[in-house]
Structure 1
Amino acid sequence: MSDPEPDFAFRERLLRVVSEEDRPRVLIATGSVLDIIGRQYDRFRTGVPLKGLEAGRYRS
């Protein structure tokens, strides 16, 4: 399995698909916050959801 994209590369890819409303968040987000925003647009650094992100969705 290849390494996940670095923040700057993932951010550039996300900026092509995010709404104008989310654009400012993407510009300042890093790490897992960037992953969460990408998930809203069905974009993932590795092409598939990363382990650990699913677990956070089911916490109460």
Structure 2
Amino acid sequence: MRTPIDLVDKLVADAQRYSGISERTEIPREALRALIHREASRRSSRSSVTAASAFIRS
């Protein structure tokens, strides 16, 4: 799917420098992958804490 987006040049340059990704089109893809990974980890850790709390209370 193609979606036009406006990218801030400074952010793209910083992302390219830190990540080593040279292709501008790859930056948003990698950003989405990182966001999904971070949020999935966050949700997983929340459910683990909830499960651990329930276990401890039993």
TM-score (norm 2): 0.29
Q: Which protein is richer in helix relative to its size?
A: 2
